[in-house]
Structure 1
Amino acid sequence: MGSDTAVHDLVIARYEESLDWVLDVPDAYRVHIYDKGAGPTSTAVRERAETFVSLRNAGRESDTYLTHMLEYGPGTGEFTVFAQADPFEHSPDFLELLTRHADWSDVQALAWCWKEQIGYPPATLLTPERSIVPDLRVRPELFSLSTFQPLEWVDSGAEGIGRGYRQLHRLPEGVNMCAHFLDMCELPDVAELAEQHLVGRHSYGGIFAVRSHLVEKVPARALERLRQAAFGATVHGYFCERLWLHIFGEQFLFPLQLPGAE
């Protein structure tokens, strides 16, 4: 089971990925594995895990995270880290980052890219000076709350997700889709803040950390509504991924300047 010295929690959303790397997770972390596939798991990995739960394969990693929040609670650790079971594609320095929690913000992006080998984002944006953690690779992406597109490059996948969301909810071009989603999931205060801004910040792959007491601040009803959304249309899972940081208190960027406003 997890170490008695653990002071943080690590939540892993697994399908069929290898979990051997879990044995290298620092002892300061309680490990919670939620398995939606049929991949083999070694006895050593199971013994390292505080929690090992099988879930139905639906709702992407958003459902896994929300299941943990609703059924396990915020935990007693200082930070809760959420990650896919192969975090290294999006966060090549993931294990090292787990040792650097003293450098983290209350809500901390932990990813570097989507898929570096295919240029998502372009290599020109993945340079050392772009990292927000010294000597390690962490780069949150800025994106439009109305188009879902990143600000610095053209992401055809994000464009398709935004278009699909507008069509699903019959929204015209120019509507703040992220505010719409947050309001639909019964997070009115966060939705109002989103409506007043143009830009959000997200961490690829839904890999991030948050001070555990901030998890407790999100109403259970909102967590339920987010999980219902994740079980629904595919695009909803991507909206959860884009908005995790803000759900837990990350500030939106670029306030909307309306005519006549001071």
Structure 2
Amino acid sequence: MSIMTHTDPNTTRPAVASMATRMFTLCYGGLAYLIFLGTFLYAVGFVSGSVVPKTVDKATGSGPSAPLSTALLINLVVMAIFAVQHSGMARRGFKQLFTRFASPAIERSTYVLLASLSLILLYWQWQPMPTVVWNIEAPILAGVVTAFGLLGWLIVLYSTFLISHFELFGLTQVISHFAGRVTEPMKFKTPGLYRMIRHPIYLGFIIAFWCTPIMTLGHLLFAAVTTAYIFVGIYLEERDLMAMFGDQYRSYRQKVAMLVPRIF
């Protein structure tokens, strides 16, 4: 990944960006990461229904809930906005287009920032649908289910660190750009959980979204749509990974399960 903004015609080496440009890039990437971090932490409370003022089941204020048809339409629209942004900007074609007009160093940060903003829109506009689908009243069982939900979030976070958390969210790229270094392309590796399943991050999200002692109609809609989107995302992501890593990823795909570890 190049850290340069232009090429000096008198040499074969690209000219390094100015200090002002590198400082702006660093601040931009840092801000994008902080917004992501806040958005991720809010997501934990939003889905689990704790700490934050608005959750998947509870709106801010005391006004009446929107009619079911209105709530369903709004919720599907905001989830679709996130899905289109999240998948569209992750494709290789968009990345190549982006780097024609802006520094490659901020491509990942821009993706992270816009994904965070689309999630903030979802939190803001989400309409609770409070009809209860199931309610686990036994305290011990309810506690176990809640604990599994939190475990899902831990799996998500842990898995990002296994494959380079700060590179995944754009910080490595902007820090390297600021230091005048070229960021090495992300290498194919399968540490820890990635030896057992190909997509532990997605598995963590599925566990977090479905493990709740009280499942409302709104929460069910959120969990079902996001799970369906995860499978679409896996298909698109693996298509890109096979194009990038070729037979190396195809062999990995044949040997390692997608989401559920193979017993034999």
* TM-score normalised over the length of structure 2: 0.26
TM (norm. structure 1) is 0.26
